[in-house]
Structure 1
Amino acid sequence: LAASVAPTLAFVAGHRMAKAALEAAVLDAELRAQGRSMGELFGATRDWVDCGVSVGIAPTLEELLDEVTGYVEEGYRRIKLKIKPGWDLVPVGAVRELLGPAGLLQVDANTAYTADDIPLLAELDAFGLLLIEQPFAEEDLATHVRLAEACETPVCLDESILDVTTAVDAIDRGATSVVNIKPGRMGGYLEALRVHDACRALDVPVWCGGMLETGVGRAANVALAALPGFTLPGDTSASARYFAEDVTEPFVLGDPAGEHRGQLRVPDATGTGVTLREELVRGWATRPPVVLTAG
């Protein structure tokens, strides 16, 4: 059973993403045998989830604004900008002006800053951001606490949160007031559920991070993002954001002019709710499979 995967692999240090992949596969098989969906098991409370998109460091400000404009036209409900020293206040200000005061905007620093940058990061308060994500090194909770005390923008942790223990510890220390939940980083969906439940009990909002998943992982992430504690749009972009062809039927945003603009539908079929497009996988294979037989 899927619940036995993490305990069985506990003797292996690290390798959380490999463990998460194995647990997800076992969970998918288990739920298909039971005739249940991941959304049902997880406790999904919505049929559609709000989607955001992550925007990387652009070569120029003009190119950044063009890219963001395209995502807004597609209907994405939240923009996340990657920032780094030298690429922060100006691009964030430009995108805020583009989106207007009501547009949902947040930034992700991917540990690019140090304690010396706290005054600069506090200047981001002027832009009405949802949050600033992981500005300092994973292990450096103390500096995240200092930033949280120095600014009004909520501090969100990503890479620092490995499981429910680290999540609760970071919240208790005041290092974070929002948590990015990535099942791969946490070693699996079952641990991600525990983090969600703990954060909800502490009244800490969570959102679902993305890691370039194919349709298989995206389906599970969308089901996870339908839980009640996920009150912020996640990085659950449509398949076309990264892939010309997805290994499942593509995830497509709701009609930009319709009721579900900027949303993805939660799969309700058994398991992940999606089916692998085996012909594509065969076509992409670099060589045919080798089948070993006894004798």
Structure 2
Amino acid sequence: PRVLNYQFNGPEEVGARTAHIRGHFMARGGVETACWDLQARMKNEPLWKTIGGGARREIPCGVSIGIQDSVEQLLGKIETELAAGYQRIKMKIKPGWDVDVVRRVREKFPQIKLMVDANSAYTLADRNHLQKLDEFYLMMMEQPLAHDDIIDHAELQSALETPICLDECIRTPHHAEQAIRLRAGRIINIKLGRVGGFAAAKRVHDTCMANDIPVWCGGMLESGIGRAHNIALSTLRDFVLPGDVSSSKRYWARDITCPAIEVSPAGTITVSDRPGFGYEIDTDFLNSVTARLETVT
């Protein structure tokens, strides 16, 4: 209702119209990103151009692997993903599934780009234990502490050689500014849904780039529509690290967009030049799996 029947000069104004709403970043971002797509289609240009991207035409892709039942199963999954071309492996860790498991992975794959994601599984009391991960020359350790913490991450980062990547605690451009000022991490993961759309994501990106903080695009189990928006976002200049943008078939037997998003043998996705987000919606299939339809007026 805040955007219906309201005249905007451009999609960058949509986020400001809903800025007074606390939280609900995904809902606000869904509306805002759709407006950017609409603007791109009205200009008959690809979404990446509308948002000011285009720094690269091939998006480097990484993959995320969760906690497995055994180390052998984890090693097998990593081998499968590397064979598919993915350039970076992210493995989840937690207390009891961390140092020894990472050691096994490094022994088998000494040269791969490897990072770990703790999903807030640790506290500052674990700093000495987390220091043991420094020997494995990891790309980064993602969000080891609480999902809403910045200050403790700064203290932990000062004790680690491994770069900390901040994820869940960066929900606004202001959070990014605070984290950089406190030196809470050396890398930031940007997710469109988490920050509420392209305008906020671009502000986080620009702040990071101005402070020499590399960024990458995180994934949130998107369908083809969200995945296509992530591809566009990843063409901005400071997205220099492989993101969690993977092929459609990795999560969906059949996606709601066509053609399906594919990762090349080199571990990249080619950016589409079609207008808007670059893919067609498979309307017949979408209708066949729709459980509920709601119209907002």
Common fold, TM-score beyond 0.5? yes
Residue 169 and residue 286 in structure 1: after superposition, are their counterparts in 2 closer, same or farther (change >3 A)? Answer: closer
1:221 and 2:230 are equivalent in the alignment: yes
Deviation (angstroms), 1:290: 9.2
Q: Any idea what the Cα deviations from partners look like across 1:152-186, whole Å, max 9, x if unmatched?
A: 00011001111221101101101011000101100
Which residue of 22, 26, 34 maps to 2:31? Answer: 22
Q: RMSD of the TM alignment (CA)?
A: 1.5
Quote the residue 1:239 is aligned against: 248
Using the size of structure 2 for normalisation, the TM-score is 0.92
Instruction: Tell me the SS of whatever aligns to 1:28.
Output: helix
CA contact 2:228–2:278 (8 Å) conserved in 1:
yes
Q: Alpha-carbon deviation of 1:38? A: 1.4
Question: Which amino acid in the other structure matches residue 88 of structure 1?
Answer: D
1:75 to 57, 71, 85: 85
SS of 2:279 mapped into structure 1: coil
Cα distance in 1, alignment partners of residues 85 and 294 from structure 2 = 45
Q: Within 2, Cα distance between the matches of 1:26 and 1:216?
A: 13
Deviates most, 104-113 or 223-232:
223-232
Which residue pairs with 1:187 in the alignment? 196
Matched, 1:9 2:9: no
Aligned to 1:110: 119
Q: List structure 1 runs of 4+ shifted beyond 6 angstroms.
A: none
Gap regions ≥5 residues in structure 2: 1-9
Match of 2:64 in 1: 54
Report if the CA contact (8 A) 1:44-1:224 is conserved. no
Question: Partner residue of 1:278?
Answer: 283
> Normalising by structure 1, what TM-score?
0.93
The 1:36–1:200 alpha-carbon spacing in structure 2 relative to 1, beyond 3 Å, is: same
Amino acid at match of 2:59: V
**Identity of aligned pairs, percent?**
43
SS of the aligned residue for 2:257 comes to: coil
Structure 1 residue 227: Cα displacement: 1.7
Partners of 2:207 and 2:154 lie apart in 1 by 20
Give the Cα–Cα distance (whole angstroms) in 1 for the partners of residues 172 and 40 of structure 2.
23
Q: Distance in 2 between matches of 1:126 and 1:83?
A: 16
* Whole-angstrom distance in 2 between the partners of 1:180 and 1:37: 24
* Counterpart residue type for residue 264 of structure 1: I
1:208-241 deviations in Å (ceiling 9; x for gaps): 0000111111111111112220111000011111
- One-letter amino acid matched to 1:272: F
The alpha-carbon deviation at position 272 of structure 1 amounts to 0.6
Matched, 1:263 2:273: no
Deviation by residue 1:222-278 (Cα, 9 ceiling, x = unmatched): 111122201110000111111110111211111x2xxxx100111211111111000
Partners of 2:178 and 2:201 lie apart in 1 by 16
Determine the C-alpha separation between the residues in 1 that align with 2:112 and 2:294: 52
> Secondary structure at 1:171's aligned position in 2?
helix
Q: Deviation at 1:11?
A: 2.7
Map of 2:212 onto structure 1: 203
How many residues align? The count is 284
Query: Is the contact between residue 119 and residue 147 of structure 2 (CA under 8 Å) also seen in structure 1?
Result: no
Distance 1:11 1:141, change over 3 A: closer
Q: Which string of whole-angstrom CA distances, capped at 9 and with x for unpartnered residues, describes residues 118-154 of structure 1?
A: 1111110111100001000133322211211111000
One-letter amino acid of the counterpart of residue 72, structure 1: L
Aligned residues of 1:122 and 1:147 also touching (Cα < 8 A)? no
For 2:148 and 2:245, the matched residues in 1 are separated by 26
Q: Secondary structure of 1:106's match?
A: strand
Query: In 2, distance between residues paired with 1:187 and 1:290?
Result: 21
Which runs of 5 or more residues in structure 1 are unaligned?
none
Give the Cα separation in 1 of the matches to 2:269 and 2:105: 24
The equivalent of 1:159 in structure 2 is: 168
Question: 1:86 corresponds to which residue?
Answer: 96
Partners of 1:290 and 1:153 in 2: how far apart? Answer: 47
* Greater alpha carbon shift after TM alignment, 218-227 vs 45-54: 218-227
CA contact (8 A) 1:52 1:235 kept: yes
Are the equivalent residues in 2 in contact too, given 1:54–1:82 (CA < 8 A)? yes
Look up the match of 1:43: 53
The 1:290–1:223 alpha-carbon spacing in structure 2 relative to 1, beyond 3 Å, is closer
